[in-house]
Amino acid sequence: MGFVYCDVCSNNSFSKHSYFMSGVEVRIVCRFKAASSTTRETITFSANRTTNEFGLYKVAISSMDCADVDSLASSCQASLIGRRNFSGSSCNIPGYRTTTDQVLFKSQRSNSCVYGFNALNFRPFNRDLALCGKK
């Protein structure tokens, strides 16, 4: 699960002028490495998702129980693919294109895991000095 936003002031942070972006295509790739005394296996899973009206993208991996994740060396990464209908927006230059970190949240009740990613963003080609200042 992660978000995509428009970094209006191109300062690599979510400011009061920033907004979440819908219609952004994101690719999520996860690798799960299991190692035991009898076997070593790697499972790779990938999916493309489009952000909703809140800039949120997510993917469910239903065949993997959260309890199993403790015994796995796992990593997931999300990357920007592009934008649908980006011709109508001035926020179309990729900023943070690939996530660099992930956080794993475990649910005690439903035995599910949620990987949270740092935000991805786009920025405008030209910075609005009147809105954002000269910095």
Per-residue pLDDT tens over the stretch 3-18: 999 999 988 888 888 9
More confident residue, 131 or 21: 21
Cα separation, 68 vs 39, whole angstroms: 15
- Average pLDDT value over all residues in the chain: 80
One-letter amino acid identity for 3? F
pLDDT at 122 exceeding the cut of 90: yes
pLDDT at 95 exceeding the cut of 70: yes
Cα separation, 47 vs 77, whole angstroms: 11
Mean pLDDT of all residues in 99-110:
64
Q: What is the pLDDT of residues 42-74, one digit of tens each?
A: 888 899 999 999 999 988 766 555 555 545 567
Residue 55, beta-bridge partner list = none
Q: Which of 90, 94, 97 is nearest to 128 (CA)?
A: 90
Mean pLDDT of all residues in 92-105:
77
One-letter amino acid identity for 38? T
